[in-house]
Structure 1
Amino acid sequence: MDLRPAIAAVASDLLRYRARHDGGYWNTTGASRLVLVSGLAPLMRADGCRALAHGCVGGGNDQRRFARYGVQVAPELPVIEPWTNPQALERFPGRKAMLEAVVEHGLPLDPGSGAERSTDGNLAGVSHESAELEDLETPVTRLDPRWSRWPEQAPAEPETVTVVFRDGRVTDVNGSGPDPVEWMARANEIGARNGVWLRDVVERRIIGTVCRGVYEAPGLELLDRAWTRILQAGLDAEGRELYARLGAVLGAAMYEARWLDPAAHAARDAIDRLVGEIGGTVTLSVHRGVVRVERTRVAGRVVQQTRFGSGGNRWSQEAAVWTRKEDSDA
């Protein structure tokens, strides 16, 4: 089932609401659990399914996410969690027993089943975890990115990117058009080849532990630089402070599978009131991991600048003249 439009729409929300977790992680994995349950539940109902099963490791973030969204989106489909089932754990206490069962029954074996790592990817981003990366002394360069180049591998010449926003949402990236699938893919391509992507974080998990993760979200990282400039020009100081607080609430809500809860709905409604009328065009220069704003044309609501463009320069000139006059009189 093609869920790219759904994940692209949620990625647009992650950017609009800046719903990030510890260290700026863009919550692409948590978002995909919402999309999977919401997108697959109608098909499962139509096919007469009586339960929703997943293979997430017991006690992990994703077990909690599937359980919570399952109850909210498809309450009639009980969630089966083999990793928490006593009979399953007795039969399969570890990887060795599972491997033997797969071989015995002639089932296809995923080539990555023996790896001590986990990679989870979707249109919005890729997450990396591994036994090696759990050691905080392991340099992040030990990682093999799925999409992205390291900055030193990026092209020698800068690339220009134009991002258009309307009513607080992206509508075009370098001619992509307004389809979120298209502009998300275009932003990913540009960010990945120019080394814009890395988040190496030690994050607080739902279950109360911490875990190191490395994340690729080249498109969202690129677009956030442009969105930041639009917010700076379109919101006053109080509005930006409120936006930041609400964004933190929504970042935690997406990570903890509370995106459909009333508090998250209220936070999104409040941000919609703040950013629903701002937009514009931002031109970026992207070069070896660095994204720089070249110029900005803001549309909609604009905060009036109040320094040299609005009298500050004249005040300085008058002060200088007055100071010279006092010196002369003396």
Structure 2
Amino acid sequence: MNKEDIKKVVLAYSGGLDTSIIISWLKENYDCEVIAVVGNVGQEEELEGLEDKAIASGASKIYIEDLIDEFVDDYVFETLKAGAKYEGRYLLGTAFARPVIAKRLVEIAHEENADAIVHGCTGKGNDQVRFELTVKAFDPDMPVIAPWRTWEIKSREDEIEYAKARNIPLPMEKDEFYSEDRNIWHISHEGLDLEYPDTEPNYDKVLKLSVSPEKAPDKPTYVTIRFDKGVPVAVNGEYMKGSDIIRYLNKVGGENGIGIDDIVENRLVGMKVRGVYENAGGRILYTAHEILESLTLDRDTMHYKDKVAVEFASLVYNGLWFSTLREALSAFVNKTQETVTGDVKLKLYKGNVINAGVTSPYTLYDEEYATFGEDGVYDQTDSQGFVNLYALPIKVQAMMKKKVKAKKEQEKKEQGK
């Protein structure tokens, strides 16, 4: 890719510090037209004023694309059905937002006949991989420009000085705000004092959607979530689209201190990073979905699906959403969800999500079999043969050890004669 061949680029734009200076940097170093693209996945007030800001920074045009419902229906709920959590805790809020944004970047680059796609991801993070693997999935020949890999800027302080020298409006001053990523599913917080794992977060300063459990109400809040084939479709009897379900649960969950996760995770590039996540709606939905599956999935399928969830989470975290393996795992997951239909009642109380009852037309729980009282369907004498057969490998191994021990003791006696 020669610089002189780059006449027009499409930039993944957020209006933050990185992308605010990248427009100017591109025009200085490539002398090219810059088209800014914002993928709206639920950033709320962060979208305000972006059109004017992008144009004032030198962009020729800006797209603000509403991707919220596509994001929720095709990415968030696909991951929820899988039960995928990276390293057992992270609900993948940033990870699965990148593919839907990058996919739209490629589509707009084609519409605009752009010569390259640009992102502001650093060389230390996971997002560079998530963006670029998606670009390659939809256009393997599309060049990608990643300024953080080539420019002389090395720190946030350098970025601020660069912006001031060119009169670029600053979205933040150094040491003033955490580095945040927000969408309809979550908010992540990194940087400042959170870079020190021995430091307890100041939640009054960090949290935006939630209150700490200590400040949550002293009485519980109840919610009932209805699922159809693993997908949430209604809350408290009211049917609504997926994005509205998440918005509602974020609100009620945040008010009750739900889903605040302080995590040290392993990035794809090998380093550890600490972040505080607000996942109120996500934590509620994951818990409800797990409870419903405990009632509707048979043992072997549920246990195997737990293994699939780990691999699914790794693929999503590592930017492989559009891989054949992820799609194949989703096909397996969707088969398991055919009976994951029913209602889950939850009690929300001071950071806790507590099972308050679950029903399903496909329940595999049978009171007659499970009762401790007298029943007429289970012959307990049948269990004797089952236990004998199940224990056979252990019994054979124990018999072998007994024989070996006896032989050694006999040899020892003979040697002592």
Q: Which amino acid aligns with 1:248?
A: V
> Helix, strand or coil for the counterpart of 1:52?
strand
Task: Tell me, in whole angstroms, the C-alpha distance in 2 between the residues paired with 1:205 and 1:97.
Answer: 24
Residue 47 of structure 2 corresponds to none
Greater relative contact order structure (CA < 8 Å, 6+ sep): 1
| Shift of residue 101, structure 1, vs aligned partner | 2.6
Are 2:331 and 1:266 equivalent residues in the alignment? no
**2:292–2:342 contact (8 Å) kept in structure 1:** yes
1:5 aligned onto 2:69: yes
Post-superposition CA distance 1:48-98 (Å, at most 9, x none): 32211111112321112212112113334321100111xx22xx3444443
Distance 1:116 1:186 in 2: 27
1:180 is displaced (CA, Å) by 1.1
1:62 aligns with 2:123: no
CA 1:176/1:36 → structure 2, altered by over 3 Å: closer, same or farther?
farther
* Inter-partner Cα distance in structure 2 for 1:167 and 1:153: 36
1:170 and 1:178 in contact (8 A); partners too: no
Tell me whether 1:130 sits opposite 2:194 in the alignment: no
Secondary structure at the counterpart of residue 193 of structure 2: coil
1:256-295 matches, cutoff 5 A: 256-295=318-357
Distance 1:32 1:112 in 2: 26
Encode CA deviations 1:134-193: one digit per residue, 9 max, x unaligned.
Answer: 222101345511211111211222111010001121111235524111111111111111
**2: distance between equivalents of 1:311 and 1:284?**
24
What RMSD, in angstroms, separates the aligned Cα atoms of the two structures? Answer: 2.2
Q: Which residue of 2 aligns with 1:111?
A: 172
Whole-angstrom CA distance in 2 between matches of 1:46 and 1:15: 33
Q: Distance in 1 between matches of 2:188 and 2:173?
A: 15
Measure, in 1, the Cα distance between the counterparts of 2:327 and 2:264: 28
Structure 1 residues 132-281: aligned runs within 5 Å: 132-141=193-202, 144-281=206-343
**Residue identity matched to 1:205:** R
Deviations 1:256-283 (A, max 9, x none): 0112111111111111111223210111
Which SS does the other structure have where 1:29 is aligned? coil
3-state SS, counterpart of residue 140 of structure 1: coil
Query: In structure 1, how many angstroms separate the alpha carbons of the residues matched to 2:83 and 2:370?
Result: 31
Gaps of 5+ in 1: 320-330
Q: 1:53 to 1:292 in 2, by over 3 A?
A: same
In 1: Cα distance, 2:265 partner to 2:302 partner: 25
What amino acid sits opposite 2:113 in the alignment? G
The count of aligned residue pairs is 312
Distance 1:309 1:135, change over 3 A: same
Query: Which amino acid in the other structure matches residue 4 of structure 1?
Result: I
Q: Distance in 2 between matches of 1:93 and 1:188?
A: 36
* CA distance in structure 2 between the aligned counterparts of 1:183 and 1:264, rounded to whole angstroms: 25
Counterpart CA distance in 1 for 2:252 and 2:149 is 42
Matched with 1:297 is: 359
Q: Is the 8 A contact 2:219 2:349 kept in 1?
A: yes
Among 104, 118, 121, the residue aligned to 1:53: 118
Q: Given the two structures, how large is their TM-score scaled by the length of structure 2? A: 0.70
**For residues 249 and 140 of structure 1, what CA distance do their matches in structure 2 show?**
31
**Cα distance in 1 between the residues matched to 2:371 and 2:351:** 38
The amino acid of 1:7's aligned partner reads F
- Relative to structure 1, the CA distance from residue 20 to residue 150 in structure 2 (aligned partners, 3 Å threshold; closer, same or farther) is same
Q: Which amino acid aligns with 2:253?
A: G
Relative to structure 1, is the Cα distance of residues 145 and 310 closer, same or farther in structure 2, using a 3 angstrom cutoff? closer
Q: Which of residues 139, 148, 169 is equivalent to 1:83?
A: 148
Change (3 A) 1:57 1:113: farther
8 Å contact kept, 1:120–1:128: yes
Counterpart AA for 2:252? I
Contact 1:176 1:186 in 2 (8 A): no
Query: What is the identity, as a one-letter code, of the residue corresponding to 1:13?
Result: E
Report what 2:136 is aligned to: 71
| CA distance in 2 between partners of 1:304 and 1:174 (Å) | 24
Contact 2:189/2:206 (<8 A) preserved: no
Check the 8 A contact 1:23/1:203 in 2, yes or no. no
Runs of 4+ in 1 over 6 A off after TM superposition: none
Identity of aligned residues (%): 26
Contact 1:200 1:214 in 2 (8 A): yes
What TM-score results when the alignment is normalised by the length of structure 1? 0.87
Work out whether residues 263 and 275 of structure 2, in 8 Å CA contact, stay in contact via their aligned partners in 1. Answer: yes
